[in-house]
Amino acid sequence: MIMPPNRYLIAAGPTREPIDPVRYIGNRSSGRLGVALADAAARRGHATTLLLGPSGVFPSDPSVLTERFERAEELERLIRDRLHDRDIFIMAAAVADYRPRTRQADKIRREGPSLTIELEQVPDILAGLADVRRPHQLIVGFALEPRSKLLESAQAKLERKQVDMIVANPLETMDATTIEALLIRHDAPPESVGSTHAPLDKQVFASMLIDRCDALLDARADSRSASP
Ligand code: C5P
């Protein structure tokens, strides 16, 4: 049976939180995995929107609609504007946990021997979607954790963020071309993909994850149509 295309929203890349007009707090996310996910979804004929942070990697499939963000607040606005008509949202962006409480209007000068910048917590975008998401939507988050805490932290995030799947990666995944992952869901045992000895290329992993998301969405549609 040929299934109709799904509508994907994918967020990728780092955030940049400004300190002053020329400096920011960022992270080492390359955006590579999220971009590979967008290409893999588009190649399967899915309508795909990519929300892309300040990354040097871009989708190659011309049908991917790309919108850019820098700050977590901009990303949150884009997600909230675009989520309503999507079937699947994959949050592969590496969002800052803390940002400067204020942005200095002028470039900070090198004056005193030290400088203190006060940081405030960034609201959890994914967890905040629980009140706006629609029941049929499939939402996937990521968790970058030290290897020793991978399973435990990812399971806690699955509950706290109220998402359908968490892809847990060891810290080494960031800025790499390969990936090792644990897929954590409510209704299945953890599934390990790639290993320390045989990590998967991010392109290969992206194709696998899109196939998995498509299958989960189909299964959800089947169970809805089967229920009385
Ligand atoms: O809690 P932690 O940042 O480890 O969770 C990772 C997941 O949550 C990722 O999918 C990330 O994009 C998302 N996240 C978010 N808003 C934040 C921080 C992380 O949606 N402020």
Which residue type does 144 have? Answer: L
Task: Take atom 7 of ligand 1 and give the residue whose Cα is closest.
Answer: 142
Nearest CA among 28, 25, 44 for reference residue 10: 44
Nearest CA among 223, 222, 206, 220 for reference residue 48: 206
Cα of 121 vs centre of ligand 1, distance in Å, is 12
Cβ of 143 less than 6 Å from ligand 1: yes
Cβ of 172 less than 6 Å from ligand 1: no
Cβ of 10 less than 6 Å from ligand 1: no
Residue 163: strand, helix, or coil: coil
Cα-to-chain-centroid distance, residue 74: 15
30-77: per-residue pLDDT in tens?
A: 999 999 999 999 999 999 999 999 999 999 999 999 999 999 999 999
Predicted confidence at residue 2, as pLDDT, reads 66
Mean pLDDT of the chain: 94
Q: Which helix (H) or strand (E) holds 84?
A: none
Q: Would you say residue 146 has pLDDT above 90? A: yes
Q: Can you give the pTM of this predicted structure?
A: 0.95
Predicted confidence at residue 225, as pLDDT, reads 77
Q: Which atom of ligand 1 is nearest to the CA of 126?
A: 20
Cα of 94 vs centre of ligand 1, distance in Å, is 7
163-210: per-residue pLDDT in tens?
A: 999 999 998 887 888 999 999 999 999 999 887 778 899 999 999 999
Bridge-based pairing state of the strands 138-145 and 165-170 = parallel
Which residue type does 56 have? Answer: G
